[in-house]
A and B are shown apart, each in its own frame.
Chain A
Amino acid sequence: MNCDDFTLTIDDYVDGTADAADATALEHHLSGCPSCRSMVADFRAIRMAARTLPPLEPPARVWHAVAARIEAPGARQATAPWLAPSNWGWQPLAAAAMLAVVVSGLTWVGGRLGTRPAPATASVARAAAETGTDAVDDFQTAEALYADAIASLEAETAAAGPAALDVVTAAALQGGLEAIDEVIGDTRQALAREPDDELSQESLLDALGSKVALLQDTVALIHDRNGLDEGFNQ
């Protein structure tokens, strides 16, 4: 018998499913055939490596897309699986790190603001921020205050309309808000599992504070641009 006669027997042998007679015949052939021995060794290595391939994790955007398609309420609070608290203990740190990246990436927006009178809603937001971080121990109260401030600021930016800012600035702000929202979603999920985790609570308040600050900047830029437009018209 030659090598071709053992083609499929080699696979059964590697899989451990070859019957005794076939296995004996193949082993006899292998003793004098380095080429088939090499094939058996390689197939075994491939099979072993294939069996132990690590699982692949889908990006978070897949769940967002699924949730949007099935219109699942609350879907926006989804987390990437590799950030799920059941898998990792450092999610709040990851959230904080991500926030740091977002905030540093938006410094150029801040540079465009200069000093200007704060819009009316900004004072509400600032009060919430100060109350939430310094004066109130009650985490839920602080969170509620931030939520009110965010709602007010979002109403103000929505009222200004999509053309209130130039495209580049609006895109940068929007990107920042989306990144912060993702961090907020992640930390909320962590808190859903461990409501008393102080690190997660702090991360959430930090993220909400960042969102308030960014919305304040957005409102200020809108006011700034309106002022420029009025001056130009005059």
Chain B
Amino acid sequence: MRAEDLELARRCLSGDAAAFEDLYRAHAGRLFSLLTRMAGSAQDAEDLLQDVFVQAHRKLGSFRGESSLGTWLYRLAVNQCLDHLRGRQVRMARATDSLDADDAAEAVAPAPATPQAIDRIDLERAIAQLPEGCRTAFVLHDVEGLEHHEVAETLGISEGTSKSQVHKARTKLRALLRARTQRADALERV
């Protein structure tokens, strides 16, 4: 696999446009999924995906095959997205604060059972509504399947912080999904 990756990277570096397109086709779906969920916006994810592959095109010379091309691109994408989120956090500090302030209200929300089979579209929407800090930890841990120590390393936080962020995200998702279920039930009764 590594040999194939190195060969593909070599072809890309030699200016083989078809090879670079092959690289894009092989990895764009997974990276787009990651970026959409981490950024909470498909529009932002499109821009980020562009940036990731343009950056990959520039940096392919530094690929040494120590990890797979997929892992290398994955790291580029996560870093690109985190840079984007940090910039956005600075710009939207007030909005983020107001989202965090909602936690107290949700903690005392009524508690009908969350449906065991969660609608995927509802879940995607709810993930997009999470505050950025806990959303990135949740996406990396629960969606992408990274262990807490890997999430911590990726995000530059402690393992304990990763755990508390994932807990916060699950609690908030639970409240969002319950609220959605309650609304649907109320509509059915009408």
A residues within 8 Å of B by Cβ? Answer: 7-8, 10-12, 35, 38-39, 41-43, 45-59, 61-63, 65-67, 69-70, 72-75, 78, 81, 84
Contacts and interface: CB of A to CB of B under 8 A. Distances in A.
A233 B49 CA distance: 53
Contacts of B33: 53, 55-56
Please list the 8 inter-chain residue pairs (A to B) with the smallest Cβ-Cβ separation, ordered nearest first: A72-B17, A49-B118, A50-B142, A58-B32, A42-B114, A56-B33, A66-B53, A70-B57
A128 to B, nearest CB: 28
Contacts of A45: 114-118
Contacts of B29: 55-58, 81
B90 to A, nearest CB: 26
Contacts, number: 118
Contact of A53 (B113, B114, B123, B173): B123
B46 A62 contact: yes
25 contacts: A7-B167, A8-B163, A35-B111, A38-B111, A38-B113, A41-B113, A41-B114, A45-B118, A46-B142, A47-B170, A49-B123, A50-B123, A51-B142, A53-B120, A56-B45, A58-B32, A58-B46, A65-B50, A66-B54, A69-B54, A70-B53, A70-B57, A74-B18, A75-B21, A78-B21
A56 B36 contact: yes
Contacts of B143: 50-51, 53
A46 B120 contact: no
B170 A46 contact: yes
A8 B142 contact: no
A62 B116 CA distance: 36
B50 to A, nearest CB: 5
A62 B50 contact: yes
Contacts of B167: 7-8, 10-11
A53 B124 contact: yes
Nearest to B174: A42
